[in-house]
Structure 1
Amino acid sequence: MKVGLQIQRALQGLLNKAAVDGGAYGHLIHHFTRHRLPLHALQLHARIVLFSITPDNFLASKLINFYTRENRFCRALHVFDEITVKNAFSYNALLIAYASREMYSNAFNLFSSWIRSSVTARPDSVTISCVLKSLSGYDDFLLCSLAQQVHGFVLRGGFDSDVFVSNGLITYYTKCDDVVSARKVFDEMPERDVVSWNSMISGYSQSGSYEECKELYKAMLGCPELKPNGVTVISVLQACGQSSDLVLGMEVHKKILENHIQMDLSLCNAVIGVYAKCGSLDYARALFDEMSEKDSVTYGAIISGYMAHGLVKEAMALFSEMESVGLSTWNAVISGLMQNNHHEEVIDSFREMIRCGNRPNTVTLSSLLPSLTYSSNLKGGKEIHGFAIRNVSDNNIYVATSIIDNYAKLGYLQGAQRVFDNCREELDCLDCDYNSVRYSWGL
């Protein structure tokens, strides 16, 4: 029966004071929720209670969704608890509710208890997508372990043939920087859609596997049924920029124009970025000047390109044109000035950044410290060290090594040794030779 007829039937039942029809009333609750008619939904639920009817799973799922949207989550939980025999409808409704409220641990715990306790209620692809979304609430180490557990369940339950589920697994493995497991899922998929390819290409690009990203893009071009979209080419352009592959970057740009892919701001920034990073600064600037809309990323791409190729004057001239400067652009300027040995300007820019209300991050600090060392500013190095400790960024390996370098070169060996000892665990992750590192700093 069509949904419209179900709603008419439910309304007719209300007029005739007929018994509750769970399916029809479920559609009616859904209708009230979609059209933001909370009073109607509450009155209908009151009628259901008046008839002393326990909602079936379909009706209960619609009530859970309604109460969640109305921020009456306790009522949603009460509806769920009252269901005598739960199935995927009701479990999924509560999983979606938890995920929408970012109660990720609750969602995963519900899923775990479901698969342990229920024999009849079988999870489906909606379940898996909710569980995968809930994993984003965990830290990186636990995320990888839980993703593997969910993957195991997917394989045991036969969900690996579901494109939507496999795409989710690829996304979460790449978030864990486990591109090997992500690629294994990708290769074993019986069918792949554009999202599958984009997820894997993006994962490679974000993890720094630039050659693999570019090779997979070329393989995608060999599939006549697939056409790269804006998401695809942004990831590939980023890989081209980071690997200084101007030839492929130009080919991708040509494909964008040939396939009439919409040049939104993100894509324009990616195109400008690849030309700027690869040294085609005149062309990058020409594209920049043609853009009607620009943001801090647009300016940052050109400024970084100028700085990387020693054109500090041009970079600072463009920087001075900006009306609103974000932290990422300040970092591009400070880092670029440091790399070009404009150390006094680095310190001046840092002070101006603070005056404008921007809070430095680890990128800022690791770019500032070499200039303080060059200026023999030990006091400034200690102040930055104190700031890093207060903001729990002193364990960042780039900040820590910059602090050690500042202390060691300016004769504060005791402080350098202390920071060195505190970051041994991070150095372990980089497989550092302690003796060589200590010798280079004179410790």
Structure 2
Amino acid sequence: MNGLVRKWEFLFNNTAKYKSFSSWRNSHVHIKDSHDYIYLLKRCCSRKTLKQIHAQIIVADYVQNPFVASKVLGKYIEYAAKGMEDARKVFDQLPERDVFLWNIILQGYSKHGPFADAWSYYVEMLVAGAAADQYTFPFMLKACGGAKEIKMGQVIHGQIVKSGFALDVFVGNALVAFYGKCEEVSSSREMFDEMSQRDIVSWNSMISAYVVNGRHNEGLELFHVMLNDETISPDQATLVAILPACGQQSALKEGLWIHSYIVKSCMELDAAFGSGLISFYANIGRLRPAKLIFDRVNDKNIVVWNAMIRAYGTHGHADEAIKLFSQLVDAGLRPDGLIFLCLLSACSHARMISEGLELFEKMEEYRVEKRAEHYACVIDLYSRAGLIDEAMKFINKMPIDAGKDAYGALLGACRIHNNIQVAEQVAKRLFDLDPENAGRYLILIKMYEDTGRHQDAAKLRTQLKDRKIRRPVGSSAIEVDYTFHTFGAEDETHPFKDQIFDTLHKLEIVMIDETTVVDQCVMNS
């Protein structure tokens, strides 16, 4: 045993001399059995070396060894970021496959895709007579969630129940995550509530399901419940999942607590934490701490840069956003479509026309696809500056059809600059693209009324009524004892509505009394 250890120490301590597997093989170090190959596979650190080791395994006739085969397959999946072709070839050539090998290939497709291939291999597995276990089902649910195939996932759910794995924590967590990815948050919560045992992944999956689907209040409420549970403590994934909700809901207390918890727990301020904290501070209007966080993140990836650029752009610091873009390029990173979207939006709000158009042209230089939202930003750029005709010319030259966002920006500009002729053309287009949006009708109605065209305004109001198109009701929210209460206009569904309306009535009386006192003071003066 000691001799084998010394052999491997010699082998891997001389990597400068033996640059490839072939040079190792040709040296005086000889590989004797399957354990040697497994050790090599564990230490393998490149796809090229893996192929060399695999070739020698085939020559040595160890490819039939199920343990060696599983290690080779696992390694190919580890390097499968550019595709699963090599892993597929290895798997398809295996003469015998147990559930462990089937799970490895399913794990690869659930992680790297194509997700449809995971389903194909799963069916082939069942036909071959292999029984799915508690690891098979989570891999399949992950693939179904990635493809948002709700029906396929529900079939898997049914098989889970029949197989008796519904109470398994690992499987339960996968069900919570699957329904969350498919935007079935109520089903996610149902799975979460039915779990007899929960671990930190269970809580993280449910919180993430709420936040990703825009139900930030409920995510924060569940986060508070978790903090009050003495059997569980938040980890990095918990904090990363809940930070976007803190920013969206301006939950200052929770966001500051998370930042303090990160510092006190000596957690590394990595890219995930950094981007989340930058967005949080930006959303509550604190650019200085956002920039401090940005400066302290060592492994800045494109997400971190994007968070800071968006923070500057949102608060009207377009110049700073453009400077940061230059630094990003100098750092050797390649900007993506989201970066350009944030920059274009910043230039639009700052009315920096030439800078915005220059950035739009630079997208081709960096081989970034110009999508509908980028064109909409350029239209908004022209519109905010009052260049309505230029915006219309740009729309007519676009290689893609302008969407509702682009026409919506133009209609808003027509309202500001009182251009009723273009507004009518744009509104008619919007009524086709976005027929249920009452705001589009109301803008044109207001313009008609401002120009004295009351009959046209009345016709549009009649259309709104006949089509039963209603403007979304405005709402407000308040946090009381770690619980968020949302109120809509004329909303009588809240469980404490009697107390609320009673308080409002009392406030109204106080306001009337105060107004009377002021009027008397004015009259006496």
TM-score normalized with structure 1 length = 0.72
Percent identity between matched residues is 25
Contact 2:37 2:68 (C-alpha < 8 Å) held by counterparts:
no
Residue 341 of structure 1, CA deviation? 4.6
Give the equivalent residue in structure 2 for 1:192: 198
The 1:42/1:145 distance shift into structure 2, 3 A limit, reads same
Could you tell which deviates more after superposition, 65-74 or 232-241? 65-74
Q: Distance in 1 between matches of 2:354 and 2:74?
A: 60
How far the C-alpha of 1:305 sits from its partner, in A, is 3.1
Which residue in the other structure is 1:106 paired with? 117
Q: Which among 120, 124, 134 is matched to residue 143 of structure 2?
A: 134
Query: Following TM superposition, by how much is the alpha carbon of 1:128 offset from its aligned partner in structure 2, in angstroms?
Result: 1.0
Deviations along 1:272-326, one digit per CA (max 9) or x if unpaired, are: 2211221122332344444555454444434433443344455555555554472
**CA offset at residue 369 of structure 1?**
1.4
Q: Partner residue of 2:405?
A: 398
Structure 2 CA distance, aligned partners of 1:410 and 1:355? 37
Q: CA deviation at 1:371?
A: 2.4
Does the aligned pair in 2 maintain the 1:272–1:302 contact within 8 Å? yes
Work out whether residues 331 and 363 of structure 1, in 8 Å CA contact, stay in contact via their aligned partners in 2: yes
**Aligned partners of 1:74, 1:98: CA distance in 2, in Å?**
13
Task: Give the RMSD, CA atoms, in angstroms.
Answer: 4.2
Matched, 1:41 2:41: no
- Over 3 Å counting, the alpha-carbon distance change for 1:332 and 1:161 in structure 2 is same
Q: CA separation in 2, counterparts of 1:434 and 1:284?
A: 34
Cα displacement (A) at 1:254: 1.2
Q: Is the 8 A contact 1:281 1:305 kept in 2?
A: yes
Q: Which residue, out of 223, 227, 231, partners 2:229?
A: 223
Aligned to 2:131: 122
Instruction: State how far apart, in whole Å, the 1-side matches of 2:212 and 2:288 are.
Output: 27
The DSSP-based 3-state class of the residue aligned with 2:277 is helix
Partner of 2:282: 276
Counterparts of 1:322 and 1:47 in 2: how far apart (Å)?
47
**Secondary structure of the corresponding residue to residue 365 of structure 1:** helix
**CA positional deviation for 1:250:** 0.8
Distance (whole Å) between structure 2 residues aligned to residue 317 and residue 411 of structure 1: 36
Aligned mates of 1:360, 1:210 — CA distance in 2: 31
Report how far residue 100 of structure 1 moved: 7.0
Q: Which amino acid letter does the alignment assign opposite residue 104 of structure 1?
A: F
1:245 aligns with 2:251: yes
Q: Give deviations 1:231-271, integer Å, cap 9, x for gaps.
A: 21122221111222222211111111222222113212222
Contact 1:334/1:349 (8 A) holds in 2? yes
CA distance in 2, matches of 1:249, 1:67: 40
CA distance in structure 1 between the aligned counterparts of 2:380 and 2:420, rounded to whole angstroms:
10
Offset at 1:177? 1.8
**Structure 2 gap ranges (5+):** 5-32, 45-49, 78-84, 449-459, 461-525
> Do the aligned residues in 2 keep the contact of 1:68 with 1:76 (CA within 8 Å)?
no
Distance 1:61 1:245, change over 3 A: same
* Per-residue deviation, 1:124: 0.3
Larger Rg computed on CA atoms? 2
Change in Cα spacing, 1:47 to 1:335, as seen in structure 2 (3 Å) is closer
2:267 paired residue number:
261
The separation in 2 between residues aligned to 1:318 and 1:45, in whole angstroms, is 56
Note closer, same or farther for the CA distance 1:410–1:376 as it changes in structure 2 (3 Å cut): farther
Larger helix proportion of the pair: 1
Aligned equivalents of 2:393, 2:122: Cα separation in 1: 49
> Match for residue 211 of structure 2?
205
Q: Give the counterpart letter for 2:379 in structure 1.
A: L
Of the three residues 168, 171, 175, the one matched with 2:181 is 175
DSSP-derived class of the 2:307 partner: helix
State the secondary structure of the residue aligned to 2:278.
helix
Contact 2:145 2:182 (C-alpha < 8 Å) held by counterparts: no
Q: How far apart, CA to CA, are the structure 2 residues paired with 1:232 and 1:158?
A: 29
Per the alignment, residue 364 of structure 1 pairs with 374
> SS where residue 241 of structure 1 aligns?
helix
User: How many Å separate the matches in 1 of 2:139 and 2:183?
Assistant: 21
Distance change >3 Å, CA 28–CA 92, structure 1 → 2: farther
TM norm structure 2: 0.62
1:332 is the counterpart of 2:338? no
**Which consecutive unaligned segments of at least 5 residues does structure 1 have?**
5-24, 49-54
Task: Give the Å deviation of 1:154.
Answer: 1.5
Aligned length: 393
Q: What's the secondary structure of 1:224's corresponding residue?
A: coil
Displacement of 1:383 after TM fit?
3.9
1:24-173 mapped onto 2 (5 Å cutoff) = 36=50, 37-43=53-59, 45=61, 62=70, 65=73, 71=86, 73=88, 76-77=91-92, 79-80=94-95, 88-89=99-100, 91-92=102-103, 95-96=106-107, 102-112=113-123, 114-115=125-126, 121-135=130-144, 138=147, 140=148, 143-173=149-179
> Counterpart of 1:160 in 2: which secondary structure?
coil
Moved more, 355-364 or 172-181: 355-364
CA distance in 2: counterparts of 1:235 and 1:101, whole angstroms: 22
1:105 is paired with a residue whose SS is helix
Whether the 8 Å CA contact 1:300–1:329 is kept in 2: the answer is yes
